Structure 1
Amino acid sequence: MTTLTSLGLIVLALLRTPLFAIIAAAALLGFYRSGIDLTAVVIEFYRLAEMPILLAIPLFTFAGYLLSESRAAVRLVHLTQALLGWMPGGLAIVALLACAFFTAFTGASGVTIVALGALLVPAMAQAGYGENFNLGLVTTSGSLGLLFAPSVPLILYAVIAQQLGVGEPVTVDDMFLAGVLPGLLMLALLSVWVVWVNRGQPLRAFSRTEAGAALWEARWEIPLPFIVLGGIYTGYFAVSEAAAVTALYVLIVEVGIYREVSLRKLPGVMRDAMVLVGAILIILGLSLASTNYLIDAGVPAKLFAMIQSHISDRLTFLILLNIFLLVLGTMLDIFSALVIMVPLLLPIATGYNIHPVHLGIIFLANMQIGYFTPPVGMNLFIASYRFKKPVMQLYRATLPFFIILLLAVLMITYWPGLSLSLPSLG
C-alpha cells in the first residue's frame, strides 16, 4: 500500500470516518492493487458466519443488556454487602466484586459505571469513605470483569486467534480458564489495598437475617455463574450452547419472574444489544479480510524482522508491548483494538515464543487499565459525565488504583504460568 494511500486512510480517521469504512477501504485497495478478486472480502464474512462459536457473542451480549436494564445490579450489591459488609473496607470490596461480576456479563465497562455508580458512590459516601476514593474505585473497577467468563472480549480474541491459526491453537474454553487467576490477582491486590486504606472505618455487624433476605432476593441470579461456567467446564454445554441457555435463563428471570423488563421494552433492549453486536461483526469480518491481505503481502513477517533487528530478547519486547497496549487502550475501544491489532501482534509475539493464550490475557489486561489511563481513557470521561466531577479530579482519584493494577499487569506479563496453568489442566 503506497504512502499516499496510507495518508488518505489517516485523513479519513482524523475526519472521524466510521472505523469499519476505513478497514474496508484498506482491504479493498490492498486486494485491488494485488490483482485479487474483491469477492475475497465477502468470502471472509461467509467464513465467519460458519463458525458455531460466533453465536455466543450476540447471546451473551443480549443477556448482559437484559441484566443492565433490570435491578440485578441492586440485588447483587445488597447480597455482597450483606455477606461482606462486616469486613474492614467491606463495602469497597463489595464494589469491586459487584463491578467485576457486572462487567463480565455486560462486556462493557461504561455500562458498569453508569449502572452501578449511582448505587455505589452514594452508599460509600454515606458509610464514611472519601469522595476521591469512591470515584477512583468505581471508575477503575468498571473494567475489572473483562478477564472473567463470559466476557465477550475473551470470546472475540479466541475467534480471531482461531482464524489466524498462528502458534498454539486457542479455544474459548482456554481463554475463559486463562483469565481466572489474573483476574483474581487484580481483585486480590485491590482488596488488600482498600482494606488497608480503610482500616479505621467503623464496622457493621454481620446479620443472618439481612444475609438471608439478600440471598432470597437474589435467588434467581445466584445460579447464573454456575450455569454458565459449570455447564462449560463439565462438558455439558458447548460455549455457544451455554450462551443460549444463559440468554434464555436471564430472559425468563428478568422478564417473566421479576418483570423488571417489560415486553414493551424488550424490543428496545434487543435492538441496543444487536447494534453493538452488528458493529463488532462488521469490523471483525472486514478486519479478517484486511488481515489476509496483510499476511499475503508478508507484512507481519516484515514487522517481525524489523522489530527483531532492534529487539533481540523477549523481555524487552514485552516491556514495549505493555507500553504500546496501554496507549492503545486510551484511544480505541476494546473490540476495535482486538480486531485491528491482534492479527498484527500475534505472529510477532509467537516469534518471541509467547503463547497465544498468554498474549490474549496480556492484551486484555492492558486494555482493561487503558480505559482509565490519563489523559484520554474512556472511563475517565464517562465517570466525569456520570458523577458531574472534573476530569482532573478523576485523574487524581484513579492514580493509586492505576499503580496497583499496573503492578498486576506486570506480574501477568512476566509470569506466564498465571495465565497458562489452568488451561494446561483442562
Structure 2
Amino acid sequence: MNERPPHEPSRQFREPQSLWDDPNRHTQSLGCSTCLERDRCGGVHADAGIFDCRDLCTCADKSKCDMVCHFNPSLFVARMREVGGLDFDTAPRTAANGVPTLPLIVPFVDHRYGRAAVLDEPVVALSLYEFVNFATAKLHVRTRAELSARFLISETAQVLVSGVDKDGPIERWWDYKDRELLLTSLNQLGITLTTTPNYSLLTDVPRTDNLHAMKRILLAWTEMASAGLATALHINGRTEHDYLRWGDFIAERSEIEILAFEFASGCGWGERIDWHVTQLCGLANRVDRPLAIVIRGGGRKLEDLRQHFAQVTLIETEAFARTIRRRRAYLTEAGRLKWAKYPTPPGAPIDELFAHNVSLVRTSRETRLHATIRSRPLPRRPGCAAHRNGEAVQPRFVNEFHLAREARRVAQSRRAWSPLRNRGSPA
C-alpha cells in the first residue's frame, strides 16, 4: 500500500462505525474534560479507543496538517480568522426571505448533454456549481433565456439551486472572494430557492475541523440570504450535541425557515440514516415554529420527515443518473421501482427516456408514500365487556383488590381442609 502524504492522516480505522458518536452507549473520552472547545463540541463518545479528538490527527508531519487542527498553529489561527471564530452567534442577522411552495418531488438536471428538447417540468433542481464559470468567476448565464438554453428547461420553471457537491467544487466556491456579486447575479435570474454548500463533517478528524465546517455552512447561508435569495440552511452534524446546537441557534434566529440535508453519502448508510432522521425530527420539534426541509437522497424517509416538518421536498437525482446510463424505469407487479437496460442508437436524443424516468420515479415515490399513510395503524380503543354498563374489559383497581381478597380466602379454606393437615403426626 502506498504511504500517505505527510499532511494526511496515516491511521486507518477498519471499522469506521467505531467513530460514530453515541453518548448513550459510550462514555466521554477522558481528554475532553479539559478541552477549551468542550462547550461547543459536547465531547467525543466513541468506541475507537482515543484519548480525545486530537488523537485523530495522525499526520506524519503535524506541522503540515491541512485540517483545522491545533498541531498546525499558524494554519489554525488563519482558519479561525476566516470564519470569525467557531461561535454561531457572531454570524450576522439577515431578513427572512420567505418559504416558497415546492412539490414533494423535484427532478435534478445536471446538464443538457444527450438531450435535444426542453424538459416540461414546472420545478427543477440544478447544481450551484454548474452556474459558475470557475475560470472567470462569473455566471455562465445572465438571463432566464440563457438559463433555459443551457439546461434545456422551461423558461417559466421554478429553479431550485442545490449547493450539495463533492469537496472540490464547494471548496472553490469558498475560495471566491467576490461571492456577493455572484449571488446578486443569481438572484436576478429569479431563482426560487438555494441550498448552502454542504461542507463535510468527517468522523476521523479533530472536532475543530467539524466546528469550522459548521460555521462555514452558516456563513454561506447568511451570504445567500443577504443577497435576497430564499435559502435553505444545510444541517451537517456528527454528534447529538451538534444537532442540539443547531436547534438552539435556529430557534433564536427566526429568519431561518428552511433546512437542507443530504443522505446520498455517509449519512444514508444502514442504521446511520435512522439516527440522522431522529436528530432532524428532534430538532424540528424543539424549534417552536414550522420549518421546511429539502433533502437529497433518503427518499424512503419522506414520511418520517413529513410528520415533523411543515414542508418536505426531495431533490430526486436518480432519474437523471439512470437516464444518462441508458436505464429505463418500470414497476413490478408488487409496485417496486426497477431499472432495465435501454440502449439507444448513437447520437439519438434521450429526452423521451428522461421524461419517462422522471414521471415514473415521481409516481413510485408518491404511491409508496400514500401506501405508508394508509397502512399506518389506527389507535386502538379499549373494548367493552358485555353486561357491564359499558365498563372497559380491564377491571378497575377496586375490582382487582376484591378479587385478590377473594383469592386469599379460597387459599385459606383449602388449607383448612387439606388432608395433610388432618392426618396425625407420624409415629
TM-score (norm 1): 0.22
Flag the structure with higher strand content.
Answer: 2
Q: Which has the higher contact order (CA 8 A, sep 6+)?
A: 1
Flag the structure with higher helix content.
Answer: 1
